[in-house]
Chain A
């Protein structure tokens, strides 16, 4: 630790990746945690970050510096922590660089692009004794903790089965745009970072979540990651599954996108399975609405796109991420226990800043973040290996029945962007 942060010492932050989510996180952190300042907005695209700079100027009385290369941030000894909200392909590298530079890290989900990246993140965090808060914010929700306790108490009985849903609405055919000149103000080389160098393409830049090179998929890595991380937490954080099976495809719009429009996944945890359907189509499934996230209401579970169902022998629990809360149903629809949920974004940010000061392990710790992120990678590798079942060596984190999957699991990094 380069300096001793007391309970209320000032924490100096930098934002890396100032898109919509990054802007919202940094502004909320500034607003909802005491004695925090934002010194840098780091963004490879000059057209982004303006709002963050403007709002922060008003809030803290001075303008955060705009930089394009994150190394400026890491070189500045004054910066205590970074908030990483880049596309997914930058998460691991940026987080590792930050740790090595002695910074604490808030890193958005999905925290890695590959299994081995997550493992390296863990090693680095330990080596450099850093606080790393993974952006799976449901870990800071009080209702998640009470759901976990409910199951731990045995009231739900033995777990028979678990089903997670991330059946997002909205799907359109996708057209690959032709390559084009790099837009002014964008450092395309830095945007690509560790990914292979390719000519600028709008479909890559603005729809990066549809490419394996930059993402584990809009629905699965972008959202199912939250649902399954919450499910894992409530189940008492099980270790890696023994096997994963995934059937999926581009059934609706066979438009050459990397990422399928539906994946139907089963993880084998030995005594039960976790199933997850991750998809994007139709208009009838709905994410939990704002008035539920911030109010004392439960979702209409039947058509809730992002729920988990936990079937015990005594009852079934509906569980909603992002403030959906939980309800346990027994015979004849009787609700035997429940708790409303509040969207825990602010709590997660506060927990991060608190942890920076106390050096206590944060709620979204890297070990669990890695185990949850691995579920995404396992499913994608099973899909990409041809809709197959993969047997996973939990210790070594490799597949024992597929060299193809082991091959696909490897990430190559461009010179200058190696981990």
Chain B
């Protein structure tokens, strides 16, 4: 609500928080503001999104139009009223035109194309950006969006290092933006009932937690550099990361590509999927603050790939009165993600034994199995008796609804940026412990830095290449 307070307290500007306000009228007000007072120019961006009524039109732009982004933004328009996509922005023409066609087909409206996200940020019509680029663009795009008064839905993992994650929090707070991190389990009602169950004390004191992200995979092979494909702005794709020649092992015009194997662009399997598992575990545990110590091990011994991001990792986060372990990787094809029929059914639980993405919470009174993405939860007691349970529904749609609701209500969204940052930090901590040689690291949570470890501290922040700079002071 603080956004509303600030922006609507400026005198002489009619508050837009009225149900009947039309798109036309809003534009009129914007134009008036720009025309009448230079002083208020900066505030105008804030105004458009800050005082929206319950059903006012929300105008979105998609930044990063791969399969996930396109599917999610179309769904968002379908499951919410009066939401529209004005722009599809991608540095890859092929993906942009595919997304534009898909949107037109599904929603009956053809968005415009942009190759430069600055155009999105400069467009006063746009209320919010949907950021589903590769991970290395998440933080900067979010900061820029906040600075220009846009609300943000940003996919996980929200950052590629701890420093830029903190900058996202600072930007969201400073510019009073709604930033929904794409940790959609935070919009699952079963996530909250599991949290209530533990909070009530029925599980007893939590003594230990095991999170799993034991996915399948195969050997990955590096490829030689190649020519930049037509229709790709490679420099912009690289963003803040050091300039390097085009490599088809990192990028693919049609599909997701291999950037997840490189530290510059990603936190690997841990960032991609364990981030969800750990975020849900944190939610259910009552959102504990940063751990005080991390031991992380990793290696490429499953398949013997020469990947930067490892094939398997085994991590312990020490929260002082309990620890969370996370075993994550691509070496176990027989372990399975929760299948679709369970994600969308309220009458089935996964086979927990071989569920690749479960969490086990060991309390003094019982053990909770918890499955992300609709897996639900079950509490086991003595002799295998199920003491409590709740089926789960995949909460992608709920998270999309919550985002749009919060754009209108200015309430803190479920996937709020502070908790998203803390969950993302678990990923970074595990990766840094591996990268400095499978070490234990002692972490100062207040300062978000490592104690007595220069090598690890050097990995708290990436180097940023002009003009893709996140400023210290956002």
Contacts and interface: CB of A to CB of B under 8 A. Distances in A.
Interface of A: 158-161, 163, 167, 171, 243, 245, 247, 249, 251-252, 261-262, 264, 266, 268, 271-273, 275, 277, 279, 281-286, 300-303, 311, 313-316, 329-333, 387-389
Q: Which of A161, A277, A314 has the most CB of B within 10 A?
A: A161
B302 A281 contact: no
Contacts of A279: 207-208, 362
Contacts of B312: 160-161, 272
B381 interface: yes
Contacts of B247: none
26 contacts: A160-B311, A160-B329, A245-B295, A252-B207, A252-B364, A262-B208, A264-B208, A273-B314, A277-B210, A279-B208, A281-B364, A282-B204, A282-B366, A283-B381, A283-B382, A284-B380, A286-B382, A302-B353, A303-B367, A303-B380, A311-B214, A313-B333, A314-B334, A316-B334, A316-B354, A329-B334
B354 A333 contact: yes
B472 to A, nearest CB: 33
B303 interface: yes
A251 B364 CA distance: 10
Contacts of A311: 214, 331-332
A83 to B, nearest CB: 35
A315 B214 CA distance: 12
A158 B302 contact: yes
A167 B314 contact: no
A301 B354 CA distance: 11
B316 A266 contact: yes
B332 A316 contact: yes
A286 B384 CA distance: 9
Interface of B: 204-205, 207-208, 210, 214, 293, 295, 297, 299, 301-303, 311-312, 314, 316, 318, 320-323, 325, 327, 329, 331-336, 351-354, 362-367, 380-384, 438-440
A354 to B, nearest CB: 39
A315 B334 contact: yes
A251 B329 CA distance: 30
B295 A313 contact: no
B353 A161 contact: no
B205 A252 contact: yes
Contacts of A249: 320-321
B340 to A, nearest CB: 15
Given A251-B321, A316-B335, A389-B440, 15 more contacts: A160-B311, A161-B314, A249-B320, A249-B321, A264-B208, A264-B323, A266-B316, A272-B301, A273-B314, A302-B384, A313-B303, A316-B334, A331-B333, A387-B293, A387-B318
A118 B21 CA distance: 82
B295 A301 contact: no
Nearest to B335: A316
Contacts of A313: 302-303, 331-333
B296 to A, nearest CB: 9
A251 B322 contact: yes
A163 B316 CA distance: 13
Nearest to A264: B323
B363 A282 contact: yes
Contact of B293 (A247, A300, A303, A330): A247
Contact of B297 (A266, A302, A314): A266
Q: Which of A158, A251, A286, A313 has the most CB of B within 10 A?
A: A313
A275 B214 CA distance: 15
A284 B382 contact: yes
B331 A264 contact: no
A261 to B, nearest CB: 7
A245 B380 contact: no
Contacts of A284: 366-367, 380-382
B301 A158 contact: yes
A399 B197 CA distance: 43
B321 to A, nearest CB: 5
A161 B332 CA distance: 10
Contacts of B320: 249
Contacts of B333: 313, 331
B120 to A, nearest CB: 43
A281 B207 contact: yes
A260 B244 CA distance: 51
Contacts of A247: 293, 295, 316, 318, 323
Nearest to B365: A282
Contacts of B352: 302
Contact of B332 (A160, A167, A301): A160
B436 to A, nearest CB: 12
B381 to A, nearest CB: 5
Q: Which of A167, A171, A247, A316 has the most CB of B within 10 A?
A: A247
Contacts of A332: 336, 354
A55 B207 CA distance: 44
Q: Which of A249, A284, A311, A388 has the most CB of B within 10 A?
A: A284
Nearest to B204: A282
B325 A264 contact: yes
Contacts of B438: 243, 268
A261 B322 CA distance: 11
Given A252-B364, A282-B366, A313-B332, A271 B301 contact: yes
A355 B327 CA distance: 42
Contact of A161 (B327, B364, B367, B381): B327
B325 to A, nearest CB: 6
A281 B366 CA distance: 10
A332 B364 CA distance: 31
A282 B364 contact: yes
A281 to B, nearest CB: 5
B46 to A, nearest CB: 46
A158 to B, nearest CB: 6
Contacts of A160: 301-302, 311-312, 329, 331-332
A14 to B, nearest CB: 42
B316 A245 contact: yes
Contacts of B380: 284, 302-303
A315 B353 CA distance: 13
Contacts of B295: 245, 247, 266, 389
B325 A275 contact: yes
Nearest to A160: B331
B23 to A, nearest CB: 52
B230 to A, nearest CB: 39
Nearest to B315: A266
A266 B335 CA distance: 22
Nearest to B206: A251
Which 9 pairs between the two chains have the least Cβ-Cβ distance?
A389-B440, A160-B331, A245-B295, A271-B301, A247-B318, A247-B323, A273-B314, A283-B382, A160-B302
A167 B367 CA distance: 12
B329 to A, nearest CB: 7
A268 B335 CA distance: 23
A101 B355 CA distance: 55
Q: Which of A163, A272, A279, A301 has the most CB of B within 10 A?
A: A272
Contacts of A159: 301
Contacts of B353: 301-302, 329, 333
A103 B314 CA distance: 45
